[in-house]
Amino acid sequence: MNNHHRGPQLPPSRGPLSTAVTAYLRGTGPLPGAAEAESADPYGDDLQLALYLCYELHYRGFAGVPARREWDPDLLRVRAALEHRFLGALRADTPGHDSLDAALAALLVEPAEGTGVTHFLRDEGELWHLREYAAQRSLYHLKEADPHAWVLPRLWGRAKAAMAAVEYDEFGAGRAERVHAQLFAELMTDLGLDTTYGYYLDAAGAEMLAVVNLMSLFGLHRELRGALVGHFADVEITSSPGSRRLAEAMRRTGAGPAAEFFYDEHVEADAVHEQVVRHDVIGGLLEEEPESAGDIAFGIDATEYLEDRLARRLLTEWRAGRSSLRVPLAPEMAHTS
């Protein structure tokens, strides 16, 4: 049986919000009230997992949860309350830039040598660090291009054509074996990780869930299309140098050829994508909607804010010799080369 159509199992809950949402999806309990969402930690495990559960219904869903739950009006009301809390916190906490040009320019400034996650992995990382990193990022990379595709019907002209061109590359340029999510699954295989979609959801911390949820939040709302473009620009502009460091980390630790290839591929591809996104996606959108500049800048700033929170969590734990995961990884799985 093809498990792609069945969806992952519902994960254990992390608090009252995610407990109630999980029970509702199972048909065994009521949903939480909006007041409970508004009083929750916007970046905490409970709210972020509850929001992730709501969003996942728009992707592959969960085993045993009817597909019609995707548009359940009561669940959508709860999701809106969770989003309101999360988005409100992001708008309050994101420092922001004076202009879109300033936000874009900041992305070209590399972190001080040795201070970022990819620097750590390149210079000091061991295989167990790389395995944890890949397990966490699997929640992102196994769906990376999907929420970005939601913006296509909300763009037109030059921005739409350029966005579609970059997405075409992300989806393998017509070749299933070259889809970037598939390449990441092969990286995971080299690292002895389980490639089942959503397998490491319970292991990932709130910081990782927030990074993934941001993509879905921006992608699912037409009014946030500018923020989605900003998020996409951030990903593409910062990817190439980070991918180069990660490729070096994979080679230094002997992670395997597929692990090396995934990041080598992104060094080249994203250097091209950066120019397309800057000049044609952003440029095209600004031609049609000059008022979207602030939203694009917010998308960049919110992405950087959440990625920085994740980086602090990973580096704090790793430098203390501790796992960054909520649930330890199983021993490396055997695989054939």
**Domain chopping of the chain, boundaries:** 3-93, 100-319
pLDDT tens readout for residues 267-304 = 877 678 888 999 999 999 999 999 999 999 999 999 99
- pLDDT of 3: 47
- pLDDT of 109: 85
- pLDDT of 112: 66
- pLDDT of 205: 97
- pLDDT of 274: 87
Contacts of 158 (CB under 8 A, 6+ apart): 280, 283, 284, 287
- pLDDT of 64: 95
CATH architecture assigned to 100-319 = Up-down Bundle (1.20)
- pLDDT of 110: 76
Query: pLDDT (tens digit, 0 to 9) for every residue of the chain, 337 residues total?
Result: 344 557 899 999 999 999 999 999 999 999 999 899 999 999 999 999 999 999 999 999 999 999 999 999 999 999 999 999 999 999 999 987 889 999 999 998 877 666 799 999 999 999 999 999 999 999 999 998 999 999 999 999 999 999 999 999 999 999 999 999 999 999 999 999 999 999 999 999 999 999 999 999 999 999 999 999 999 999 999 888 999 999 999 999 999 999 999 999 888 776 788 889 999 999 999 999 999 999 999 999 999 999 999 999 999 999 999 999 999 998 876 554 4
